[in-house]
Amino acid sequence: MISDPGDASQGPDRELEERRAKLAKQIAAHEAEEEAQRQADARATATASGYAQAFRLSTDFVAGVAVGAFLGFGFDWVFGTTPWLLIVFLLLGFAAGVLNVLRSAGLIQQPQVGHRPRGDE
């Protein structure tokens, strides 16, 4: 049989189409892997950021209580009023710690020097 000249031209074209389709699948698979990696990196960054914020908030709270207890113990030792000033300053330190946590979390506004809120703000 005599081969058709059109068949000869379709052989290389078909082979090129198959290679193109195979490369397109590989590229799509690679892009999907990259997207999954980007999402995993974004989740890891968000988790690390959350841990950092939680550590900062807990440190702010503990620092307020510790400073209050230290001051209360020091004033009790100086004035001989054991345990009353320790209790008072421990409660003040607790309040200061809660206030620091609320400010750090952005739930209340930082104080601004010279700015007085009006009734409509």
User: Residue 105's pLDDT band (boundaries 50, 70, 90)?
Assistant: confident
Q: What is the pLDDT of residues 19-49, one digit of tens each?
A: 999 999 999 999 999 998 998 888 888 888 8
At residue 60, does pLDDT exceed 80? yes
Q: What is the pLDDT of residue 33?
A: 93
Alpha carbons 57 and 107: distance in angstroms, whole number: 12
Q: Mean pLDDT across the chain, nearest whole number?
A: 86
User: Global pTM?
Assistant: 0.58
At residue 115, does pLDDT exceed 80? no
Q: What is the pLDDT of residues 66-92, one digit of tens each?
A: 999 999 999 999 999 889 999 999 999
Alpha carbons 69 and 29: distance in angstroms, whole number: 60
Alpha carbons 64 and 58: distance in angstroms, whole number: 10
